[in-house]
Structures are given as structure tokens and as C-alpha cells.
Amino acid sequence: MRYLTDRKRAEGHGAAHSGTGHHWYMQVSAFGLALIVPTFIVIFGRALGSGYENVIETFSHPIPAIVTGLVLLVGMQHFRRGAQVMIEDYTRKSTRKVLIMCVIVLSYGLTATGLYALGKIALGH
């Protein structure tokens, strides 16, 4: 017999186990990405296939470098949570945990690599 009320046992343990933090992050990042993704698409689309010199020149400027860095950083955090929800829908137990870990590791790995490359280009070789 545990001397806990039902209320006490339920508190802080909604279906997500973390309240509404996840959903709120998705709303904020969706809004933020909506602001910068169109600009990013044009920057990247124009740079792609335009030659080495031009690409280095493009990302040496602050706006293209900052916008691309932000899209990558926020985009990967948005992806990490979205992919987590998909994994939670289709898998359970250890498979679920391992897959979520892989997605988080992949997201941070891609972010770090992309930011390193952007920094190296933007700040000169």
C-alpha cells in the first residue's frame, strides 16, 4: 500500500511525461523556421551548382551564413522532436529508446558538422 493520493501520482505524468514542453517547442520552432526558411531556400538554391568561388563568396557574407546556421540548428531540433513522435507511435520499449537516442545523436552531429563548415567558410580558411 502506497500512501499517495491519485492526484499526487498523476501530477507531472501526462501522456508525454513532460507536460506541454514538447508541443510548445514545436510551435515556437515552426514559427521561427517559417520566418527564415524562404530566405534560406533562395540562398541555397542560387548557390547550389554555381561554382566553388561563388559558394565561398556567398557564405562569407553574414546574412547567408547566419540564416543557414539558424535553419540547420533550429531545423534539426525541430526534426529531432518530430522524429521522436513518429518513433513513439510505431515502436515500444528498448527499440523506442535506442531509436530516439540515434535521432538525437544524428541531429546534434549534423548540426555540429554544418556549423563547423559554415564557421570555417564565413570566418576565412
Sites of contact with other proteins (CB under 8 A): 6, 9-10, 27, 30-31, 33-34, 37, 41-42, 44-46, 48-49, 52, 55-56, 59, 68, 72, 75-76, 79, 82-83, 86, 89-92, 106, 110, 113-114, 116-118, 120-121, 125
By beta-carbon proximity to other proteins, the closer residue of 52 and 94 is 52
CB of 10 to other proteins, least distance (A): 7
C-beta neighbour count of 46 within 10 angstroms: 13
By beta-carbon proximity to other proteins, the closer residue of 18 and 27 is 27
DSSP string across 81-117: HHHHHHHHHH--HHHHHHHHHHHHHHHHHHHHHHHHH
Q: Answer yes or no: are the C-beta atoms of 118 and 65 closer than 8 Å.
A: yes
Residue 39 CB-half CA count within 13 A: 14
CB of 99 to other proteins, least distance (A): 12
CB of 16 to other proteins, least distance (A): 14
Residue keyed to cell 501526462: 14
CB of 92 to other proteins, least distance (A): 7
* Cα 47 from Cα 68, distance rounded (Å): 12
